[in-house]
Amino acid sequence: MTSSSSSENKFATPFDVPANYSGPTNFSPKVASDFVGLVIAAPEQVNVGQVSPGELVCPVSLTFEFNYAFLSTIRGPETDHMVVVAIDAKTGKSYSNTLQRDDSVPSDADDRPKLSAQEMQNIRSKGYFTFDLASVLQLPKKAATYRVHVTLEKYQSNVVTIMVRSGSK
């Protein structure tokens, strides 16, 4: 029997997860044991003013897993190199930005353990990250439908659709 960790259960809704939270939650996408890549999940609908008056909050939960061989080509935290893209389904206007944490500090590649090429292929690292799409992309606070995905180098996540409504209900 598998149970969720307490960190996964401490948020009642995706809107309760603080932006730039880097741990698993009940809203983090689940992946198979052999998964490699990125997967995102988000509420299908958000409302301007849902969290605070006049503000737009669009929580997106990200799960990612890569082997060390791939990660060794990236300097610093993986999320600093991920690109978030949202395309307005009606107008075609696209918004994009790198997904960066305010507190991220580039790591020194020399701090990484020395591993053989085979070990680099076999050892994998999994991560979780929740971010506010509206904040990262400076989305307008108006009704729209967005198709959203995240990329990192050759990897692209699934696409989720988020409908933004202009009312708070």
Confidence category of residue 1, pLDDT binned at 50, 70, 90 = very low
Cβ 27 vs Cβ 59: under 8 Å = yes
d(CA 137, CA 97): 6
Q: Model confidence over 141-161: pLDDT tens digits?
A: 999 999 999 999 999 999 999
Percent with pLDDT over 70 in the chain: 85
**Paired sense of beta strands 160-165 and 45-47, if any:** parallel
CB 88 within 8 A of CB 139: no
**Would the pLDDT of 4 be above 80?**
no
How many other C-beta atoms lie within 10 A of the C-beta of residue 61?
23
pLDDT at 2 over 50: no
The C-alpha atoms of residue 95 and residue 76 are separated, in whole angstroms, by 24
Closest Cα partner for 71 from 40, 28, 41, 107? 107
Q: Is the pLDDT of residue 94 over 90?
A: yes
Please tell me the distance from the alpha carbon of residue 127 to that of residue 63, in angstroms, as a whole number: 6
Average pLDDT over residues 15-44: 94
Report the pLDDT value the prediction gives residue 95, as an integer from 0 to 100. Answer: 98
Residue-wise pLDDT tens digits, 123-138:
788 899 999 999 999 9
- Among 71, 63, 64, residue whose Cα is nearest residue 123: 71
CB-based burial label for 142 (10 Å; 0-12, 13-18, 19+): exposed
Higher pLDDT, 16 or 4: 16
pLDDT at residue 9, rounded to an integer: 72
Residue type, 39: V
List pLDDT tens digits, range 60-86: 999 999 988 788 777 777 778 899 999
Give the chain's domains with CATH numbers: 6-165 (2.60.40.10)
pLDDT category at 88 given cuts 50, 70, 90 is: very high
Could you tell me if 101 and 80 are in contact, meaning their C-beta atoms sit under 8 angstroms apart? Answer: yes
